[in-house]
Each structure stands twice: as structure tokens, then as C-alpha cells.
Structure 1
């Protein structure tokens, strides 16, 4: 039986009560950003832990949330994911890590990405290998959180990360290709900047070049945003690269990326 794709409500108040109940139980995925923001992550966590007989994990994770200086969807998401990883490690609970990694609820899979990103035993090669399947997730929320979960480790191991991610640019899955630029954006969104790429964006050319004519608009937007980030600190690099691309690749895809890349420069 084919699953019917829901459109989702346009505002929180319009989410049907039965849908919100199912979301908070982890029985269905969120259909859009409105639903994603409306989920009560504490309640979802409690329901998840009770269902899988791990209720004793709840109190220390809720304490971690309460200690947050700023409670947002993303900070709570990170606190829960980190807390679940800590509890699983303390209890040698690999089974539970596997459960949340394959869970039907997108927010639970979001938490699972932090069990990879916070695992200090993984080197950057192992971490990126494990996170790749999440970068291909069908749900937008998981795809956004998954690069956030490993970005700090990427920044700490930039040369090796770029070397690995460069190979991903030829992957058939557009979501995996998009991860390569989104995870390394110099300025990024909701995250710390990568100073090395702000000052020397040419370090990422092995990622950018293969994507300059990518057929996916999803990827094109990310490449354009990457270069727009770089233009705020190294405008000459971005201008010269765009000029080179314009001469060497006259495709509509490249032209679209260039327009997006130069939007800040062209405003000045």
C-alpha cells in the first residue's frame, strides 16, 4: 500500500489534534516545517523511551535540556541526541542506537545523527562514512540536522574532510552531493563559521568545481549560497571563479549558481 503524502498545516493552530498526537508519539513523520517546529520533543522522547523500556534514560536527558542557556528546536534536538548517546554508551546499549537510527519519526532520526557527531571514538573518515546515509534521508529535517551534527568535526579536520567529501560530489543521490557544500559553507546557518574557509575558500575547490553545473536545483542553491558566504570575506576569489565558470561552462545551471553566488557583491 502506497503511503499518502500529507501537505501539512500552514500554521500550528491548524494542525489537527490527532495528527499532533501521532507526531508526539513518533508514529508519523512531520510533513512540513510548521509540524516539525510544533512537535513537543520532550514528550516525543518520553514516549520513545517508555515504548522501548528505557524510561530510566529520561531524567538525565531532561536535566540536560533544562541546563540549556537558550532553548530552541535545534539546541533541544542536540541535547536529546547527545543525551541519548551518553545513556547508550553508559549502558552499552547498541541496540537502542540502531532503533533510533532507523526510526519512522524524522525527529528521532535527527537525534540519531548526534550519536555519530558526538562519538569521539570515531575518526573523521569513520564519522563521515556513518553520517552519509543520513545525508540521503528522505526527510528535509534529518538532512539539515545531520550536517550540523558533524560540522564541528569537519572544521577540525578540514583537509581530510574536503578530500573525502570531494568524492561524494559524483554520487547519484542529489542529497549526498548537497551535503558536501552545505556542511562546509564558510558562514553556514545556525552554526559556527569555518574561519579557514572564510579566509581561504579555494581550499574547497575540489568540492565546488564538480558541482558548477549540477542538474539539481537543490544542489545549485547550496553551491550558490556557499560562494555567497565566501564573497563576504573574499569577494575577488568569488568574482574570478564565477568569471572562469561563465567562460568555461555556459549552461543554465552554472548561470543560476553564478547569479546566486554574486548576489551580495552585486548589491554593493
Structure 2
């Protein structure tokens, strides 16, 4: 989960009282370890008591799968049993996992136009919690990849948003490779398709945004190193700022590992 805070401890080291509060939906996860420790079945039973035994049993059967698959499963079960009416309940919930389920519910809705889907996910892209912000782009990334031209056009507008979280989403959501997600083949082959997003962010003052853009270019460099080198060289001339210098150094870390 890109951009998350981690801790030097395992799930078994989490305080039992804290874990119980996580599973009750009373507190947010403080670290990635906390996120991974949440028992989805217990949390679902506690915050959605009307979900039904069948859904809880299916959630329990999926307990051993990866967290992204469990997020998708939870969203599918909630949509199937409670419908979209549950979205508002989860979107306002104090549990970051519950708000993450809401993200995946937005991703699971059939036949939603991309513009409406992006509008629906936008509050979660600007969520206070690092985990929810990651789930927001992961949940709708397949739709962005399927409608790439429209996605780039809309996300280009997001690069001017006052919120660094929204600006970061514009870049992070369509990284060519990304983390915990399928690659976007079109952007691996033609990274220049996303220049309308990358260019406005080349000197962004936020380190959060700089890291995302540099990671985007590091992804692109795995397939198009010459393109990334040329872009960074041009940016360094046209935008000789500390922000751009930091971004380009990180972008070239795999191409020039000794620099």
C-alpha cells in the first residue's frame, strides 16, 4: 500500500485492547500493521449487524486471501445484501476499513459513468487517513485503465486542486505499474499519454505529490528509460527548483542507482 505508515512490529504485537477497538470500528488504524490486523468478519458483524449470517460466513471463508481481495469481497457482499444505501453509513464511519469498503463499493457499481465514479470517489481520495486514500485509487483503477483517455482528461483538472491529496491521487491512480494492482499497458508503452497530468506537478511543493510523480516516472523507466531521462533533463532546465530536482533524482533512482 503505497504511501502508508508502517511500524517495526508484527500483528501479534498489537495491544489486544487496541485490536478489539479496531475490530469494533471504534478507532482508525495507526499503521499498515493495524490495517492488516483487522478481522473483516468481526468488524462487519459489529458495524453492519443486519448483514446476515450468510454474508459473514462468506467473509470468513475469504479470511486467508490478500487484503485487496478481501476489500473487494466485503464490498460485493455489502452491495449484495444491503445495497447502495449502506454506502453513506460506511462513508461516514470512524473506521478507516469501513470507509475503504465504501471505496470498493463505488468501484463495484455497474454501469456508472467514469465522471460520476470519479466524483463519488473524490471525498475518499481526500480522506484524512492514509489507508482510505490508497483504497480510493485501488478501488477504481480498473475503470480508469478501461477509459484511460477520459480518466486522464478529468485527472488533469485535479492537478490544480488546493488539496495535495487530490493532486497526488491524479498521479498515483494511473501509475504505469503501481503497487498491489494490475499494470496499465498503454502507459508502459506510451507514458507520454499522461504528460498533461505529470507536467503541472513537476514542481509541486508537496513531498507527498513529488513522491507519487517520481514513483510514476520510476515505473515508466522500467520500460521507457530513455523517455524518462529526456523528460527529467528537460524539466531540470525548464524548472530549476529544489522540488523538481528532488523529484527527478527519485524518478531516476532505478536508471542511475549510483547517483
Q: TM-score when scaled to structure 2?
A: 0.92
In 2, are the aligned partners of 1:117 and 1:127 still within 8 Å (CA)?
yes
Q: Does residue 17 in structure 1 map to residue 12 in structure 2? A: no
- Residue 16 of structure 1 and its aligned partner are, at CA, apart by 2.1
* Equivalent of 1:234 in 217, 224, 238: 224
Taking the aligned partners of 2:7 and 2:66, their CA distance within structure 1 comes to 21
Taking the aligned partners of 2:60 and 2:245, their CA distance within structure 1 comes to 45
Taking the aligned partners of 2:71 and 2:154, their CA distance within structure 1 comes to 27
- Residue 263 of structure 1 and its aligned partner are, at CA, apart by 1.1
Taking the aligned partners of 2:38 and 2:60, their CA distance within structure 1 comes to 15
Question: Which structure 2 residue ranges, 5 or more long, are not aligned?
Answer: 1-5
SS at match of 1:265: coil
Taking the aligned partners of 1:26 and 1:20, their CA distance within structure 2 comes to 10
State the match for 1:43 in structure 2: 42
Taking the aligned partners of 2:55 and 2:20, their CA distance within structure 1 comes to 24
- Residue 155 of structure 1 and its aligned partner are, at CA, apart by 0.2
- Residue 72 of structure 1 and its aligned partner are, at CA, apart by 1.4
* Equivalent of 1:128 in 118, 129, 138: 118
Taking the aligned partners of 2:60 and 2:162, their CA distance within structure 1 comes to 38
State the match for 1:4 in structure 2: none
Q: Does residue 59 in structure 1 map to residue 58 in structure 2? A: no
Taking the aligned partners of 1:172 and 1:185, their CA distance within structure 2 comes to 21
Taking the aligned partners of 1:21 and 1:120, their CA distance within structure 2 comes to 35
State the match for 2:101 in structure 1: 111
Question: Which structure 1 residue ranges, 5 or more long, are not aligned?
Answer: 1-6
Q: Larger RCO: Structure 1 or Structure 2 (Cα < 8 Å, ≥ 6 residues apart)?
A: 2
SS at match of 2:235: helix
In 2, are the aligned partners of 1:245 and 1:254 still within 8 Å (CA)?
yes
State the match for 1:3 in structure 2: none
State the match for 1:215 in structure 2: 205
Number of equivalenced pairs: 253
State the match for 1:75 in structure 2: 69
- Residue 8 of structure 1 and its aligned partner are, at CA, apart by 8.0
State the match for 1:99 in structure 2: 89
Kindly tell me: are residues 8 and 195 of structure 1, through their superposed partners in 2, closer, same or farther at Cα, counting changes over 3 Å? closer
